[in-house]
Amino acid sequence: MEMTINSKYIQIQGVRIHYLEAGEPTAIPVLFLHGASFSAQTWQDIGSLKLLAEKGYRAVAVDLPGYGSSQSISGSRPEFLRELIEELKLNQPILVSPSMSGSYSLPFIVKYSAMLRGFVPIAPVGISTFANQLQGISLPTLAIWGSNDRIVPVAEADIFLQMMPNAQKVILLDAGHACYMRATDEFHDVLTKFVVGC
């Protein structure tokens, strides 16, 4: 049976936010954010939503405010994520956060890490800003980087390992900043193993 990926909208902070969803509504959720050059559609295009839904998870990819088909917001970014998770009834999701979306996910985990089951930062921006506040957060975390990342240095992955006791890292060889685009199979392999272990 072909896995259906549904395109939906929800109101958050008074604006219309678009997201894609696949899998059983009651399954363990995996929430995908995206980088500045991408959107929720990216995760459908490379097969991440279908893969996780077929493995029994609820896969959700959101167009962040001002991207894709979502309207812009003027409110707090971590509060936006909190409201999104609550409104979509995502019970302790695993949060996947590449690049620009670190400006949402990093302040979110500093304040609301207990709302998550796991965290997958993919070369997110803003690590140095929040490094000290990550100290001691026990959230299971898998930092994924491309070995050729020229935007966020690979060395920044070690900040997660230094500050967060349950963090680990994976470096995808011959991949750049958007490592999941170049090394998609390897990315899916390490992501799936982490998600299953959460």
Please tell me the predicted confidence (pLDDT) of residue 2. 62
The DSSP bridge pattern shows strands 94-98 and 118-122 to be: parallel
Question: Do 123 and 151 contact (CB within 8 A), yes or no?
Answer: yes
3-state SS class at 175? coil
Distance of alpha carbon 32 from alpha carbon 182, whole angstroms = 18
CATH number (3.40.1260.10, 3.40.50.1820, 3.30.1330.10, 3.90.1170.40) of 6-197 reads: 3.40.50.1820
3-state SS class at 113? helix
Tokens 């982490």: give the residue.
Answer: 194
Please tell me the predicted confidence (pLDDT) of residue 3. 78
Catalytic (active-site) positions: 99, 149, 177
The whole model's pTM is what? 0.97
Annotate 176-185 with b (16+ C-beta within 10 A) or e (fewer): bbbbbbbbbe
Question: Do 142 and 194 contact (CB within 8 A), yes or no?
Answer: yes
If 0-12 CB within 10 Å is exposed, 13-18 middle and 19+ buried, where does residue 1 land?
A: exposed
Domain ranges across the chain: 6-197
Percent of the chain with pLDDT over 90: 97
What is the per-residue pLDDT across 32-83, written as a single tens digit (0 to 9) for each?
999 999 999 999 999 999 999 999 999 999 999 999 999 999 889 999 999 9
Q: What is the pLDDT along the chain (198 residues), one digit of tens a residue?
A: 567 999 999 999 999 999 999 999 999 999 999 999 999 999 999 999 999 999 999 999 999 999 999 999 988 999 999 999 999 999 999 999 999 999 999 999 999 999 999 999 999 999 999 999 999 999 999 999 999 999 999 999 999 999 999 999 999 999 999 999 999 999 999 999 999 999
